[in-house]
Structure 1
Amino acid sequence: MEVIVPFSTDRPKSRLSAVLDPDERAAFARAMLRHVLDAIRAAGGEPRVLATGPVDADLACPVEVDERPLTDAVNEVLDARRGDDGGEGDAGDRGEGPVPVAVVMADLALATPEALRELFAAGRETDVAVAPGRGGGTNAFVASHPEFRVDYHGASYLDHRRIAAKVGASVAVVDSHRLATDVDEPADLAEVLIHGEGRAASWLRETGFALDAADGRVGVERE
């Protein structure tokens, strides 16, 4: 399955500025991206990075640069994909009918191959499979319905449910802690240190971050 991974190179992870300087934020964003790409490959997916600018790293997968906002860039991919196969795929991924395409965000530092396999399997059985994020976002989805498009503004999970209903697409919701946890705030780093495996968690530990359970609350501290 083709998996599109949007990645921002413009001031990445600015909300982590209280704990990481600009160079560190860029390095951590790349570590999370590599983690997600590793998990996608291990799950049997074929990743393609959709970046807002050139990526200074060898990712061992295609990288396409699109400077437009996320919604426009992803919809362009969906438009091109439907145009390529005319809305009809081959029998390789879902029998006869449209071929599913997945979109997985680059900051899912807890993602595992098992969680992604669950998402991919759901996407092969329904028109749209969505993994919602905390706070109502959309962290990953698989879509094969030729009329489904995205809108990442606001509570995008609810928007995508409405869009799917409007075009008559069936929807499956994949409730996964590992896919629901995107890393945006300093508090999210504790989740990575507690549950994370792979490049993102290793980068934090190598940079000197550790868990801090002072005052009965789990957070992070830096040596």
Structure 2
Amino acid sequence: MEVIVPFSTDRPKSRLSSVLAPEERVAFARAMLDDVLDAVAAAGGEPRVLATDAVDLDRPVTVDDRPLTDAVNGALDTRLGADDESDGPPEPTAVVMADLALATPATLDRLFAAGRDADVAVVPGRGGGTNAFVASHPEFRVDYHGASYLDHREIAAAVGAAFETVDSHRLGTDVDEPADLAEVLIHGEGRAATWLREAGFALDASEGRVSVVRE
């Protein structure tokens, strides 16, 4: 299964600017991307990075500097297009965000399995976003504005696509805010967690609640 991994090279992870300098955000975003690509490959997926600009990787990269919704829909047009005249239904295509630092092969394998059974299988993020999905319905397209999980459920219903929700803490945790770094330090197993620790980040429970401090 081909797995599209969108990745922004332009000021990545800007909401972490209060705790990370610009060059640190670039390095941390790259560490998370590498973790996601490794997990996808280990789950049997074929990762392809959909980047806003050129990026040096040993994986296939497609450059598309359009906004996320347009870029992903362009990829879906190519792979699922309703006008595709090839024989048989389209192969399922997955889209997995590059900041899912807790992703593991096991959680991705569960998503891929759900996407083989349903026309559209979606992992909702906290706050109603869409962190990952698998689609095979030729008319399904995305809209990442607002509570996109609800939008994608409605879009699937409108085109008659069987829809499944995949509930996963690891895939449902995207790293956008400083508080999210605690999840990486607690549950992370890859480069992103290592990068944070080497940068001096640690967990602090001295006040009765877990927070992140930089030593």
TM-score when normalising by structure 1: 0.93
Q: Which residue number corresponds to residue 92 of structure 1?
A: none
Q: Take 1:82 and 1:188, find their aligned partners in 2: how far apart are those partners?
A: 34
Task: Report if aligned partners of 1:87, 1:97 keep a CA contact under 8 Å in 2.
Answer: no
Q: Take 2:206 and 2:6, find their aligned partners in 1: how far apart are those partners?
A: 36
Give 1:79's match in structure 2, choosing from 74, 77, 98.
77
Give 2:210's match in structure 1, choosing from 197, 203, 218.
218
Give 2:199's match in structure 1, choosing from 204, 207, 221.
207
For residue 74 of structure 2, what is the amino acid of its counterpart? E
Unmatched runs of 5 consecutive residues or more in structure 2: none
Residue 60 of structure 1 deviates from its aligned partner by: 1.7
Task: Check if 1:195 corresponds to 2:187.
Answer: yes
Deviations 1:71-120 (A, max 9, x none): 0000001111134992756xxxxxx5321000000000000000000000
Task: Report if aligned partners of 2:43, 2:106 keep a CA contact under 8 Å in 1.
Answer: yes
> What does residue range 1-223 of structure 1 map to in structure 2 within 5 Å?
1-55=1-55, 57=56, 59-83=57-81, 86=84, 97-223=89-215
Q: Take 1:97 and 1:82, find their aligned partners in 2: how far apart are those partners?
A: 9
For residue 171 of structure 1, what is the amino acid of its counterpart? F
Task: Report if aligned partners of 1:87, 1:146 keep a CA contact under 8 Å in 2.
Answer: no
Q: Percent identity?
A: 78
Task: Report if aligned partners of 2:81, 2:138 keep a CA contact under 8 Å in 1.
Answer: no
Aligned-partner SS, 1:215: coil
Count of aligned pairs between the two proteins: 215
Aligned-partner SS, 2:207: helix
TM-score when normalising by structure 2: 0.97
Task: Report if aligned partners of 2:2, 2:48 keep a CA contact under 8 Å in 1.
Answer: yes
CA 1:204–1:158: 2 relative to 1, 3 Å? same
